[in-house]
Amino acid sequence: MAHPKEFAEGLSIGIIMDGNGRWAKKRGLPRTAGHKRGAEVFSDIADYCDELGVASVYFYAFSTENWKRPLEEVNAIMRLFGEYLLKGFDYKNRNVRIRFMGDRTVLDPQLQELMNKLEADSAVKTGMTLNIAINYGGRPEIVRAAQQLAAKAAAGELRPEEITEQMLSDAMYTAGQKDPDLILRPSGEKRLSNFMLWQAAYSELVEMDVLWPDFTRSDLDAAIEEFNHRSRRFGGL
């Protein structure tokens, strides 16, 4: 569907990719089948965000709490992360910058190497920034930022009373990027699940009763359309 240039240009969008397991269960399939289909949807929606002129998109792929899932499922997700989330998107031929959010130090060394390479190779790109959150949690991110500023204070580089909101923002994984204008959650759930807690202060939340593996470009259109009809007052009148 064709849209006017201003439909989504410059937007910052957070997406909680939810419902893979339920999608598979409804079809009598293993949960891993839902994650595979969800990874394919990720590739298509990332493409579409780029085509729409979105400035930044944040995909919530794997949370710090997801390690509690069965080992077989976690291993499958990590394998798919390498196959689809990293290799399934045409990074080389797109003007897209890649950023990763979360603690990657516990991930497989080969996966870390691939992530580091993608970030380095795409650093000079000037188009959309594609953020993928893996082993990510909003609370750990805030703690990490606070620790960085506390270390500077302990070293005498700044006084505690000099710490500002902007300094904390600059210590987040999303430093230099726009906070999400809207955060979209498919699957019908109505919570953030520890996603971008600092950055979501004034984000518009859009919940949709569609499981992520069934999510389409038309669903993203509908979410953006709803956002475009909302009035954002940021605490004012």
Q: Is residue 128 part of a domain?
A: yes
Instruction: Point out the catalytic residue in the list 66, 103, 214, 219.
Output: 66
Q: Is residue 208 part of a domain?
A: yes
Q: Is 135 a catalytic residue?
A: no
Q: What pLDDT sits at residue 1?
A: 65
Q: What pLDDT sits at residue 237?
A: 57
The CATH number given to whatever domain includes residue 33 is: 3.40.1180.10
Global pTM reads: 0.93
DSSP 8-state assignment for residue 204: E
Q: Is residue 216 part of a domain?
A: yes
Distance CA 169, CA 148 (A): 12
Order of strands, sheet of 97-101, starting from the edge strand that comes earlier in the sequence:
97-101, 129-136, 56-63, 12-16, 182-185, 204-207
pLDDT in tens, 144-155: 999 999 999 999
Q: What pLDDT sits at residue 139?
A: 97
Q: What pLDDT sits at residue 116?
A: 92
Q: Is residue 88 part of a domain?
A: yes
Q: Is residue 156 part of a domain?
A: no
Nearest 10 degrees: Cα torsion 139, 141, 144, 148: -130
Distance CA 199, CA 174 (A): 8
Q: What pLDDT sits at residue 55?
A: 97
Q: How far is CA 2 from CA 6, 41, 84, in A?
A: 12, 20, 27
Domain containing 218: what range? 9-136+178-228
Q: In which residue ranges of the chain is pLDDT below 70? A: 1, 84-89, 234-237
Q: Is residue 66 part of a domain?
A: yes
Distance CA 43, CA 11 (A): 19
Q: What pLDDT sits at residue 69?
A: 87
Q: Is 228 a catalytic residue?
A: no
Q: What pLDDT sits at residue 95?
A: 92
How many domains would you assign to the chain? 1
Q: Is residue 220 part of a domain?
A: yes
Give residues with Cβ within 8 angstroms of 73, minimum separation 6: 31, 32, 35
Q: Is residue 44 part of a domain?
A: yes
